[in-house]
Chain A
Amino acid sequence: MNEIIESVKNLSIGFNSQKGKQISILRNVSTNIKKGETVGIVGESGSGKSTLALAMMGYIKQGLFPLKGECLFKSKDLLKMSSRQLEKIRGRKIAMIPQNAGQALTPNLKIGYQIDEALKLHTDLNKTERDKKISELLNKVRLPSPETMAFRYPHELSGGQQQRVAVAMALAGKPDLLLLDEPTTGLDVTTQAHVLELLRFIAKDTGTSMIYVSHDLGAIAQVSDRIVVMYAGEIVLEGPARKILKEPIHPYTYGLLKSIPKLSLAGLPASMPGSQPQPGSINEGCSFYDRCNLATDNCKKNSPDLEHIKELDTNVRCFNYKELINQNNNLQTSITKKSNNSEANEVLKLKDVSISYAKQKFFDQLLNKISDQNPTVKDINIDIKKGETIALVGESGSGKSTILKSIAGLLKTKDGQIKFENDRILSSDLKMRNPNDLRAIQLIFQNPDESLNPNHTVEQILSQPLKLYFNLSGEELKKNIIDLLKKVRLGEFYMSRYPRQLSGGEKQRVAVARAFAAKPDIILCDEVTSALDVSVQAAVLNLLQQLKEDLGTTYVFVSHDLAVVRAISDRVAVLYQGRLCEIGPSQNVYKFPSHPYTEVLLGAVLEPDPDIKPKLVAEDIVEEKPPEKGCSFQGRCPRKIGDICNSEIPPWQIGENGNAIRCHINIEELASLQQ
């Protein structure tokens, strides 16, 4: 167990800036990987995790080059090897499982071929033995019908299946070390939990060492024996997983853990100010100085070394780490949020709403109707109160964004009505809505890079809605823009910036400011924090909550992340295949009884705690279409009771906790099953 497989020594990697300056993005990184051990490397995007992982295979991305240090694999430096020598090691001794298997599998080659290629390169098996091995491998990663699977092209598989193929391919050469770069990012929650479970099983079964790179402490917590925390290209904390997660003694890790919303905790997570410095902008002092609440003058001038603390078996890069020892109780706190006034009137009602993406047939077009018997979204009934935050939760394809688009008037409804204020029916066609209704409902998108015009300055972006809805100009316009920026905690000087000059969190703030510029009654938030790092996510969540408390805005908040939903929302609606499964106050959705689908989702949540393991109750299959009749969840339901689920739409039942649940199982029975 103590044999070292690979050791990185004082590694620095950098690039030449346009001004000819040498800028390092990895600085003096040293670490060891032992046999049979899984090491998690965690950090925000841009912290150098991927660069480090790739360097450990002797691969340096184009444009970058090693400045100093070495990567010793079995005491030979990978960075000095010829490509011939590396071919012998890659895939055979060290194998990679990429972030996005969908893009990492060659599109014109069948998956059987791609696995066979690895077998041919790295084993001496003959053709029949290899064919058998391919089936074996596909079986091992738990893909259905391995025989036919081998003849499929990558695009014919779902995201989770592609990721499994990548795992099978990596295992083909029986490597000693597996490198995984964000292997579950971008997968659905349930799929993610399944893939992690598979990886844990493989690590145990084959004794392979693993390096697991991720920005997600929840995922890291599930697989790692040891954790390395990176910040701005440096290791800031390194030690046994349990210690790092439960008693983090570096201010960055501490703040990171606090900013993750947790299922067990009501209220919003605390956020860390600021963002990670850009490579090249760190001159002297500690790179975390700007964001650190323990910083002293010493930190500004001197940069701390990575110090080994024997009794904790931990390396830490901080002058003041002692202040954090035994502070772990504070980790379990959060910011309580003001609950909304439940007496308030309803502002938005969805009544029997169905939405279809089916192409209109010619005759239907003439009659202006849609005759789809099995629409993507069906029979949605939700009443939303003023000042309330209602969350729509479900895996990808569950129809969350579809419903948002319909409320915004971007997508026609097939049946049903959307009623706004005093039961006035809103046309589902944007062009038929009056300007005031358009102003009253605003959207914020997942990816600010796509929703902000790259050629406009922040000032131009924010002035558009102000001009359009309020006819402002001159001094007044400027004053309003500055006010808006202040609301989202951005200084006046941001006015002249372009989106590319902003960090991810700043961009999302500008998007929030743009939505608020219209003084809307309702804001539709579509996965607004999914593309952000956790520390930034916490800041945006707190910002949204603050604005709502000040201005009384109503949010419809779409997310796949139950923990985030728990933190921000007052009420949760759970969707599967475009049908409502459960709806209720968010503090209760996490209490049983739950709809079987909610139970599956709750079980799959990854908490940054090695003691809380996900419960995998349902298969992670992907359904392309909702079932024609019966319960929408019949295809995957682990509690399915029989034919009635296939034939009849289940009734709504109200549980003890006030949740409405749509299931054929009697609600009391469900409660006792879930105890």
Chain B
Amino acid sequence: MLLLILKRIGLGLITLFIVSLITFVGVEVLPGDACTTYLEREAYGAALDACIKRLGLDVPAYERYLDWASNVVRGDFGYSLSGEMPINEVLGPRVKNSLVLASVSILIGIPLAIILGIITALWRDKLPDIMISTITIFSMTIPEFISATLLILIVAIWLGWLPGIVIIPSDATFYELLSNIILPVVAISMIMTAHMARMVRSSVIQVMASDYVQMAILKGVPYWKMVFRHVLPNALLPAINVVALTIAWLLGGVVVTEVVFNYPGLGRLVIESISNRDLPVVQALAIILASIYVGINLIADLMTLMLNPRLKSLQIRK
């Protein structure tokens, strides 16, 4: 078991290494370098020299990679070009904002999705299922930018209940943030919850049709007890991985929603730094996003392993 965990962690690290290499090489083979891309027309003479010096572009590529990588490992991503300040300072508030948005959406969306999924499955083809399923399918099919824009139109502009776009100072407190993010959270949760609820629904339906559930009924196990002991543990197991992917997707920044609501999260930073050609920031973001995906998937796999007796004893026997 321990060996397996170590192996998975090792694999994760290798993935990260490859991602870092690819982004580094990618940036390297682009015509020009960080300075010429950034300075554009002014890329000549003293300004260019100063920039090259500042970024240390005058040393060979592999040395720069090693240098950069060792700094990253120590948690230092170097300097941003556009802001001319340490990337860590650029990232800090963005990470915090994304984290807040993601955690609020997760805390609301995932339990809601599971509950809706279970309700629709247990009342399959009855009124609750028909109603909820219609809504979920509807919100799955509308693209984010439309639903987000509609939300702004209705809630912010017509009703005037909430601010339409988010204007938050970088030192905003958690509470201040909260009141600002209601609309983005709703927009995100709609899609996320819908997708997950559908998945939970089909998983529960599948388990409900299994021989062991029929057996439990024939054994005289009362309905709700059967649902909680025999159905849900087995039905929700495969949901763990989907939940993990959703969380990673949320943490990585929900680009469209952030742009529509002008929310300063990681997703918008990706867009901004790409359009500003701020290559050091792009590199840093690539590594961070990759780490989030690798980390969360690792946790999900380990959880599945812990919860599934079948896999657990297989591993122990080996």
Given contacts A103-B211, A107-B234, contact A155 B310 (CB under 8 A): yes
Which chain A positions have C-beta within 8 A of B214? 59, 98, 104
Which chain A positions have C-beta within 8 A of B137? none
**Number of residues of chain A lying within 8 A (CB) of chain B:** 35
Given contacts A153-B309, A153-B313, A156-B313, contact A105 B212 (CB under 8 A): yes
Whether B234 contacts A92 by the Cβ 8 Å rule is: no
A109 at the A/B interface (Cβ < 8 Å)?
A: yes
> What 0/1 pattern do residues 202 to 243 of B give for CB contact below 8 A with A?
000000011111111111111100000110011001000000
Whether A62 contacts B217 by the Cβ 8 Å rule is: no
CA distance A663 to B11 in the complex (A): 52
Whether B219 contacts A91 by the Cβ 8 Å rule is: yes
CA distance A99 to B218 in the complex (A): 13
Among B212, B218, B222, B309, which residue has its beta carbon within 8 angstroms of that of A103? Answer: B212
Which chain B positions have C-beta within 8 A of A76? none
Which chain A positions have C-beta within 8 A of B230? 106, 109
> How near does chain B come to A161, taking the closest CB pair, in angstroms?
15
Provide the main secondary structure of the chain A interface.
mixed
Chain A minimum-CB-distance residue to B222: A87
Which chain A positions have C-beta within 8 A of B221? 87, 91, 117, 121
Taking residues whose C-beta sits less than 8 angstroms from the other chain, chain B's interface range is 20 to 34
Whether B211 contacts A90 by the Cβ 8 Å rule is: no
CA distance A342 to B229 in the complex (A): 63
CA distance A95 to B220 in the complex (A): 9
Among A89, A92, A107, A122, which residue has its beta carbon within 8 angstroms of that of B212? Answer: A107
Whether B211 contacts A98 by the Cβ 8 Å rule is: yes
> How near does chain A come to B74, taking the closest CB pair, in angstroms?
37
Chain B minimum-CB-distance residue to A93: B220
CA distance A155 to B312 in the complex (A): 11
> How near does chain A come to B288, taking the closest CB pair, in angstroms?
36
Whether B219 contacts A121 by the Cβ 8 Å rule is: yes
Which chain B positions have C-beta within 8 A of A108? 233-234, 237, 307-309
Which chain B positions have C-beta within 8 A of A32? none
Q: How many Cβ-Cβ contacts under 8 Å join chain A to chain B?
A: 82
CA distance A108 to B207 in the complex (A): 12
Which chain A positions have C-beta within 8 A of B309? 107-108, 110, 153, 155
> What 0/1 pattern do residues 77 to 95 of A give for CB contact below 8 A with B?
0000001001111111001
Among A54, A95, A153, which residue has its beta carbon within 8 angstroms of that of B219? Answer: A95
Interface-central residue, A57, A100, A106, A155, by most chain B CB under 10 Å: A106
> How near does chain B come to A553, taking the closest CB pair, in angstroms?
40
Interface-central residue, B218, B222, B313, by most chain A CB under 10 Å: B218
Given contacts A106-B230, A107-B309, contact A173 B211 (CB under 8 A): no
> How near does chain A come to B3, taking the closest CB pair, in angstroms?
17
CA distance A54 to B214 in the complex (A): 10
Among B211, B219, B222, B233, which residue has its beta carbon within 8 angstroms of that of A118? Answer: B219
Which chain A positions have C-beta within 8 A of B223? 83
Residue positions of A touching B, CB distance < 8 A: 54, 57, 59, 62, 83, 86-92, 95-96, 98-100, 103-110, 117-118, 121-122, 153, 155-156, 166, 169, 173
* Between-chain CB contacts (< 8 Å), 24 pairs: A57-B218, A59-B217, A87-B221, A90-B220, A91-B218, A91-B219, A91-B220, A95-B218, A95-B219, A98-B211, A100-B211, A103-B210, A104-B212, A106-B212, A106-B213, A108-B233, A108-B234, A117-B219, A117-B229, A118-B219, A153-B313, A155-B309, A156-B313, A169-B219
Q: What 7 additional pairs, Cβ within 8 angstroms, besides A106-B215, A106-B230, A108-B307?
A: A59-B218, A104-B212, A107-B309, A109-B230, A117-B219, A118-B220, A155-B309
